[in-house]
Amino acid sequence: MKGVNIQGYYLDASMKVLICDDSMTVRKKLAATVVELTGCEVVEAKDGVSAVSKYESERPDIVFMDIMMPIKNGLEATEEIIRLDENATIIMLSSVGTKANLQQALKSGAKDFIQKPFELEKLKIIFKNYGGEA
């Protein structure tokens, strides 16, 4: 079933998005933007351990993953999720968008990287690239 049109691409409105960030502020802002942009269902996790278990139980189509999180960081959580599902679409989200962090994110299995604060245009590109159907 075709859903929301983003830049000529269609998103299945039954898609599910998992947002993993220890900051309540980031989760709320990102969830509100994703819902407004796509109409998708959003689930949240506030640490790396919870991110892995939510991935297993919810099987989201796209995961937004913060790097610096308590208990288990985003890089470790990403590696664990990739071991469970090598096709998982994980987008790393960090306030420290250095080359080193980008390399680490890609090495852990993330498909893309967003520097905080996230920008609407960048999110549209992410959904177009990883959730869209021409």
Partner 1 sequence: MFSAFFGHYLLNKGVVTATQLSTVLEKQGQVRLKLGTLAINDGFMNATQVDEVHELQAAMDKRFGEIAIDKGYLVDAQLMHLLKQQKAENLILAQALIDDNIMSMIDFEREISAYKEAHSLSDEQFGALKEGNVDIAIKAFLAFEKDDENQYDQYLSLFLKNVIRFIDSNVSVDRVKKVSSVSLKNAFYQHIKDDKHNYITAISGEEDVILGFAGRYADEAFTEMGDYPIDALGEFLNLHNGLFIVNMSNEGTEMELTVQEFGFDHTIKSASNLYQIPLYTTYGTLNLIVGQL
User: Count of alpha carbons within 13 Å of 122, Cβ hemisphere only?
Assistant: 13
Give Rg (Cα) of the chain: 14
Interacting stretch for partner 1, rule CB under 8 A, among 37-45, 51-59, 78-86, 90-98? 90-98
Query: Per DSSP, what are the bridge partners of residue 90?
Result: 63
Q: Which of 16, 72, 116, 124 binds partner 1 (CB under 8 A)?
A: 116
One of 14, 95, 103, 129 touching partner 1 (CB under 8 A): 95
Q: Is the peptide bond before 117 cis (omega within 30 degrees of 0)?
A: yes
Residue 129, CA distances (Å) to 25, 56, 105 in order: 26, 23, 18
94 binds partner 1 (CB under 8 A): yes
**Quick check: 24 binds partner 1 (CB under 8 A)?**
yes
Closest CA to 123 of 8, 46, 10, 37: 37
Q: How many residues bind partner 1 (CB under 8 A)?
A: 18
Encoded one letter per residue, x for contact with partner 1 by CB under 8 A and - for no contact, window 42-81 reads: --------------------------x-x-----------
Token code pair at residue 131:
């959730």
Among 3, 4, 29, 125, binds partner 1 (CB under 8 A): 29
Task: List residues near partner 1 by CB under 8 A.
Answer: 23-26, 28-29, 68, 70, 94-100, 115-117
